[in-house]
Amino acid sequence: MKIGITGGMGCGKTYVSTILKKQGFPVYNCDDRARRLMKEDETIKAAIIELIGENAYTETGELNKPVIAEYLYSDEENRKKINELVHPRVRNDFNMWSNFQDSDVMFMECALLYESGFEDLVDKVIYIYAADEVRIHRIIKRDGLNRTVAYQRMKTQMPEAEKMKRADFCVINNGNNNVLKQLHNIQI
């Protein structure tokens, strides 16, 4: 059984994934794997340099996150170009990863599950919900962004109501909810 974990920026997907990992479940993190592929896959790296320029990577070969973020969030077409490069590789990487898992249940943490078309890779979807104000506060704290930029970035993703409607289950993560109890109550 493959279960997707999705939700908007700052909703707490990684928090939920950490709980699941502590319980012994394998969890594939699409954002982490995408960053790794953007750093290590020479074809992707060359294409990103062609799109953004040499400053997309630091002198040590690391992703220059502020430069890449500026490119991604400045224009919808830019996001589309990067996604067309990275998403097919992440899809293949997930399929290879899942073939090597011993567990009967595994999870895919993916912010852009629906936008990337990855919902066909999983059997069920858990949507992590957090109120906008909670999410904005988390994004500001995590990424050091101001409120306006945090809100603008949140709005580049599919509307929350649409994701929630398409998911099989919903977990509320406003910081005062017992997430573990909610996860245990999900009938898979």
Q: What is the DSSP pairing of strand 106-109 with strand 2-6? A: parallel
Q: What is the pLDDT of residue 153?
A: 87
> Is residue 159 pLDDT above 80, yes or no?
yes
pLDDT digits (tens, 9 = 90+) for 25-47: 999 999 999 999 999 999 999 99
Stretch among 20-24, 34-38, 136-140, 155-159 having the lowest mean pLDDT = 155-159
The stretch 8-25 carries a mean pLDDT of 94
CA distance linking residue 127 with residue 139, whole number of Å? 18
Question: Across-strand partners of 79?
Answer: none
The stretch 4-22 carries a mean pLDDT of 94
CB atoms within 10 A of CB 7: 28
Which three-class secondary structure state does DSSP give residue 24? coil
Q: What is the pLDDT of residue 32?
A: 96
Which three-class secondary structure state does DSSP give residue 80? helix
Q: Residue 184 — very low, low, confident or very high, per pLDDT cuts 50/70/90?
A: confident
CA distance linking residue 127 with residue 130, whole number of Å? 10
Which three-class secondary structure state does DSSP give residue 108? strand
Q: At what angle do helices 42-52 and 65-74 cross, to 10 degrees?
A: 60
> Is residue 113 pLDDT above 90, yes or no?
yes
Percent of the chain with pLDDT over 70: 100
Q: Which of 151, 90, 80, 109 is nearest to 7 (CA)?
A: 109
Out of 3.10.20.30, 3.40.50.300, 3.40.190.10, 1.10.150.20, which CATH number does the structure's domain 1-26+106-188 have?
3.40.50.300
CA distance linking residue 148 with residue 150, whole number of Å? 5
pLDDT digits (tens, 9 = 90+) for 59-87: 999 999 999 999 999 999 999 999 999 99
Burial class (CB in 10 A: 0-12, 13-18, 19+), 146: exposed
The half-sphere exposure of 94 on its side-chain side, counting CA atoms within 13 A, is 28
Q: What is the largest CA-CA distance in the chain?
A: 49
Token pair 């930029």: residue = 149
Percent of the chain with pLDDT over 90: 82
CA distance linking residue 163 with residue 111, whole number of Å? 10
CA distance linking residue 64 with residue 82, whole number of Å? 14
Average pLDDT, the chain: 93
Q: What is the pLDDT of residue 135?
A: 92
